Amino acid sequence: MEEKGRISISNIAVLVFLSIFGDCVLVYPSIITGISKQDAWISSLLSIPAGLAVLWLLLQVHQLYPELTFIQLCQRILGPWLGALISIWYLFHLLINSAIYLREVGDFMNNQTYVMTPLPVINLILILVMMWGLYMGLEPIARTAQILFPLCLVFTLFLILCLLPQCDSQQLKPFMDQGIPKVIEGSIFAVSYPFGELAFLLMILPYVSKKPGLKKSVLLSGLTASILLSVLLIVSLMVLGSFVTENSVYTSYTLSKKINIGGFLQRVESMMSTAWIITTFFKTILHFYAFTLGMTQLLRLDNVRTFLGPSFMILFGLIIVSAPNITYYLDTIVHAWIYWDLTDSVVLPLLLIVVHKFRSKGRHSLGPG
Helix 269-298 to helix 70-78 angle, to the nearest 10 degrees? 40
- The 8-class DSSP code of residue 38 comes to G
**Distances, alpha carbon 184 to alpha carbons 50, 58, 121, in Å:** 12, 23, 41
- Helix spans in 137-199 (H): 138-163, 180-192
Predicted local confidence at residue 107, as pLDDT: 84
Predicted local confidence at residue 4, as pLDDT: 65
Q: Are 29 and 300 in contact (CB under 8 A)?
A: no
Per-residue model confidence as pLDDT tens digits over 230-280: 999 999 999 888 888 888 878 878 887 777 666 656 666 777 788 888 888
Cis peptide before 174 (omega within 30 of 0): yes
- The 8-class DSSP code of residue 260 comes to E
The residue among 94, 98, 92 whose CA lies nearest residue 131 is: 98
Predicted confidence band of residue 369 (pLDDT cuts 50, 70, 90) = very low
3-state DSSP call for residue 46?
helix
- The 8-class DSSP code of residue 344 comes to I
Q: Alpha-carbon distance 221 to 311, whole Å?
A: 31
- The 8-class DSSP code of residue 330 comes to I
Domains and CATH numbers, the chain: 9-351 (1.20.1740.10)
pTM above 0.85, yes or no: yes
More confident residue, 222 or 360: 222
Per-residue model confidence as pLDDT tens digits over 137-195: 889 999 999 999 998 888 888 888 888 888 888 888 888 877 888 889 889 988 988 89
Q: Alpha-carbon distance 39 to 182, whole Å?
A: 9
The residue among 227, 207, 217 whose CA lies nearest residue 28 is: 227
Buried b (16+ CB within 10 A) or exposed e, 29-63: bbbbbbbbbbbbbbbbbbbbeebbebbebbbebbe
Q: Alpha-carbon distance 96 to 212, whole Å?
A: 33
Say what percent of the chain tops pLDDT 90.
32
Measured in degrees and rounded to the nearest 5, phi and psi for residue 141 equal -60, -45
